């Protein structure tokens, strides 16, 4: 990365960045909004259409000259509210955004540039191309990608009562249940494992057989895990002046994820690993029931 092109508020990206979980998406939102807000879109450059879904060939034309009114977020979707529509932009598993004062030469995997009327460029990089870009001129909540989404994990809508009621009769493993975006948005594989550890719930326990009191603990754990990560994300953002590498906060904060056979920080038993629905799952057999 050419350091001359990096603004202080830019979001550094490199190959070792963790997958964008909710805190990373929110950090991205806060980072990119100020330099873009209120400006008009001069041009959208799509160098690689083959993202998770092909980027519409009509998109560039539809965005032209529209003013950016706000940058919001729903789950892990970033919402760019324009005069007469909204861009729904997902970072996928490897996507990242940064602000450039001028769009210099793109590097590998720099698939999309959104260029504003003053030349400011929002550059999207996504090596694995699991990201996506949609546009809608209808109320954005009604878009098919958003309309079935559950509550935001840090909002007042996520309560123990809600999870308890929603889970009744479900035989699904609790880890699946909380990773389902219809239940609650934004809980990826890593934070799901962490939140279940923090609340002492075994990841394979049937969702319908978790008592309401334990859901209260789970909600607190989800809150704590995401809030902590959000604060770290902010710190990371401010500290991202060198282009060297991963912030380093990431692994150190994790209690179980990717710690197979390492000792539990609470009871010292070895952390266990299993595959739950094709997903790596980590837990402590002593602390989680």
Partner DNA sequence: AGACAGACCTGTGAGC
Partner DNA sequence: TGCTCACAGGTCTGTC
Shortest CB 56 distance to DNA, Å: 14
**Catalytic annotation present for 175:** no
CB environment 94-130: b (16+ within 10 A), e (fewer) = bbbbbbbeebeebeebbbbbbbbeeebbbbbbbbebe
Distance CA 199, CA 187 (A): 15
Does position 145 bind DNA by CB under 7 A?
Answer: yes
| Residue found by looking up tokens 């879904």 in the block | 53
- Between helix 189-198 and helix 212-239 the angle, nearest 10°, is 130
127 is catalytic: no
CA 179/CA 188 separation, integer angstroms: 6
Catalytic site includes residue 279: yes
CB 240 within 8 A of CB 12: yes
**154 binds DNA, rule: CB under 7 A:** no
Candidate residues 73, 98, 109, 175; the one interacting with DNA per rule CB under 7 A: 109
Residue with smaller CB distance to DNA, 7 or 165? 165
In the complex, minimum distance from the CB of residue 90 to DNA, in angstroms, rounded to a whole number: 6
Q: Is 280 exposed, middle or buried, given 0-12, 13-18 or 19+ CB atoms closer than 10 A?
A: middle
Cβ contact 47:112 at 8 Å: yes
**Residue of 73, 76, 98, 125 interacting with DNA (CB under 7 A):** 76
User: What residues between 241 and 280 interact with DNA by CB under 7 A?
Assistant: 257, 275, 277-280
* CA atoms of 67 and 60, how far apart (whole Å): 14
Tokens standing for residue 121: 């460029």
Catalytic residue among 74, 76, 175, 214, which?
76
Site residues (CB under 7 A) for DNA, limited to 41-70:
50, 52
Q: Does 171 bind DNA (CB under 7 A)?
A: yes
Based on the residue annotation, tell me whether 76 is a catalytic residue of this protein. yes
Q: Is 173 near DNA (CB under 7 A)?
A: yes
- Binding residue for DNA, selected from 181, 220, 224, 228, defined by CB under 7 A: 181
| Distance separating alpha carbons of residues 16 and 248, to the nearest angstrom | 10
Sign of CA dihedral 184, 185, 189, 191: negative
Annotated active-site residue in 17, 20, 26, 123: 20
Q: Based on CB atoms, which residue is closest to DNA, 93 or 216?
A: 93
Q: Which residues bind DNA (CB under 7 A)?
A: 15-16, 19, 21, 50, 52, 75-76, 90, 92-94, 108-109, 127-130, 144-145, 170-173, 176, 179, 181, 186, 188-190, 257, 275, 277-280
Kindly list the catalytic residues.
Answer: 20-21, 76, 279
């Amino acid at each position: 990365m050419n350091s001359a092109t990096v603004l202080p508020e830019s979001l550094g990206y490199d190959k070792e960045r963790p997958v964008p979980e909710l805190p990373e998406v929110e950090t991205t939102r806060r980072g990119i909004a100020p330099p873009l807000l209120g400006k008009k879109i001069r041009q959208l450059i799509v160098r690689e259409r083959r993202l998770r879904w092909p980027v519409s060939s009509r998109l560039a034309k539809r965005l032209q000259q529209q003013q950016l009114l706000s940058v919001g977020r729903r789950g892990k979707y970033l919402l760019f509210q324009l005069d007469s529509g909204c861009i729904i932009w997902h970072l996928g598993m490897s996507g990242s955004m940064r602000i450039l004062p001028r769009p210099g030469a793109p590097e590998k995997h720099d698939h999309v540039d959104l260029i504003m009327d003053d030349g400011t460029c929002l550059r999207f990089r996504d090596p694995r191309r699991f990201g996506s870009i949609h546009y809608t001129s209808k109320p954005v909540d009604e878009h098919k990608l958003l309309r079935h989404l559950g509550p935001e994990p840090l909002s007042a809508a996520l309560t123990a009562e809600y999870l308890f009621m929603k889970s009744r009769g479900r035989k699904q493993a609790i880890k699946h249940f909380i990773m389902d975006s219809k239940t609650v948005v934004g809980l990826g594989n890593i934070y799901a494992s962490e939140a279940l550890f923090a609340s002492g719930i075994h990841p394979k326990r049937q969702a319908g057989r978790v008592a309401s009191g334990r859901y209260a603990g789970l909600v607190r754990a989800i809150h704590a895990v995401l809030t902590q990560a959000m604060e770290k994300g902010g710190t990371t953002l401010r500290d991202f002046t060198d282009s060297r590498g991963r912030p380093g906060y990431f692994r150190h904060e994790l209690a179980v994820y990717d710690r197979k056979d390492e000792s539990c920080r609470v009871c010292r038993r070895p952390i266990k690993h299993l595959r739950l629905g094709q997903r790596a799952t980590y837990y402590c057999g002593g602390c989680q029931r």
